[in-house]
């Protein structure tokens, strides 16, 4: 009797043992393949100079997806139905996605910013009505440090869909300034004074050449346009210094810088009345 039982159970034990051995072997090989794929992915992305945040995100995504496929495959080998489990996970994913639409939009925006690199940490940008130096780019938001020492946090979903001005991308930048002089001023003398100031400034580039020209005949005076080129990091220093020097030199040369004024003509009959 016992012999009959052993004869019946032995094939099942052998079959189960072989199935377990094959599953363990499949698990071992699968883990090795996943680790190799992740290593190749990280190496490729790092050689492409992709941002560290993107590398870490894609590595985690590949790891999670590959492990999920491996586990489902192993369950299927043991005869466990995975269709219901996949359906349940899919439904849960949809429900979570609908409840976290804003967060997912910010997350997707963060991935786009990290991959496309419209700006990097350290750049001075203007976007969404704010401007400042980028101090941090996370997956959900970007933090700017404004000139008046405020931290501005912008959601990446909003930022990725907005117009972005990056003032730090190019090595040089044009400084746009202007000054008004009175209508009775000698424009040749005004131009000479401004050009002398620009020529003597060591931070102003010779190429492209600076522009000094009449820009507008305004209500109170003539607007002189001043446009020198500088290295990007010298922008504010040059602008503040040149404006101060222009004011002082025009004052020394007795060239009037007018303030808004209005000329009123009185009708003689109105005066008599």
d(CA 152, CA 130): 8
Res 99: pLDDT: 47
Determine the average pLDDT of the residues in 43-54.
65
Across the chain, mean pLDDT equals: 78
Query: Is pLDDT larger for residue 149 or for residue 93?
Result: 149
pLDDT at 47: 67
Tell me: the pLDDT tens digits for 78-133?
Answer: 666 656 555 655 655 555 454 445 567 777 787 788 777 888 888 889 988 888 99
- Left, alpha or beta for 49 (phi > 0: left; psi -120 to 50: alpha)? left
**Whether the predicted model's global pTM rises above the 0.75 cut:** no
């Amino acid at each position: 009797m016992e012999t009959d039982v052993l004869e019946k159970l032995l094939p099942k034990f052998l079959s189960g043992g072989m199935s377990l051995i094959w599953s363990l072997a499949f698990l071992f090989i699968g883990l090795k393949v996943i680790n190799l794929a992740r290593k190749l992915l990280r190496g490729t992305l790092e050689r492409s100079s992709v941002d560290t945040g993107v590398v870490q995100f894609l590595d985690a995504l590949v790891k999670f997806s590959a492990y999920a496929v491996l586990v489902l495959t192993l369950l299927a080998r043991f005869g466990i139905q995975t269709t219901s489990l996949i359906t349940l996970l899919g439904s849960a994913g949809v429900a979570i996605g609908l409840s976290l639409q804003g967060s997912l939009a910010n997350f997707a925006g963060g991935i786009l910013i990290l991959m496309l690199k419209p700006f990097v940490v350290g750049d001075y940008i203007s976007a969404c009505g704010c401007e400042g130096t980028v101090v941090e780019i996370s997956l959900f938001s970007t933090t700017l440090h404004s000139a008046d020492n405020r931290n501005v946090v912008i959601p990446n979903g909003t930022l990725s869909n907005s117009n972005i001005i990056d003032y730090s991308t190019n090595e040089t930048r044009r400084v746009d300034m202007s000054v008004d002089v009175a209508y009775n001023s000698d424009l040749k003398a005004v131009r000479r004074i401004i050009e002398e100031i620009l020529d003597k400034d060591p931070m102003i580039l010779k190429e492209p050449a600076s522009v000094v020209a009449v820009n507008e005949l305004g209500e109170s005076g003539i607007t002189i346009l001043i446009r020198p080129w500088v290295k990007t990091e010298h922008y504010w220093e040059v602008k503040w210094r040149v404006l101060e020097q222009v004011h002082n030199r025009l004052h020394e040369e007795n060239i009037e810088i007018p303030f808004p004024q209005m000329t009123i003509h009185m009708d003689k009959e109105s005066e008599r009345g």
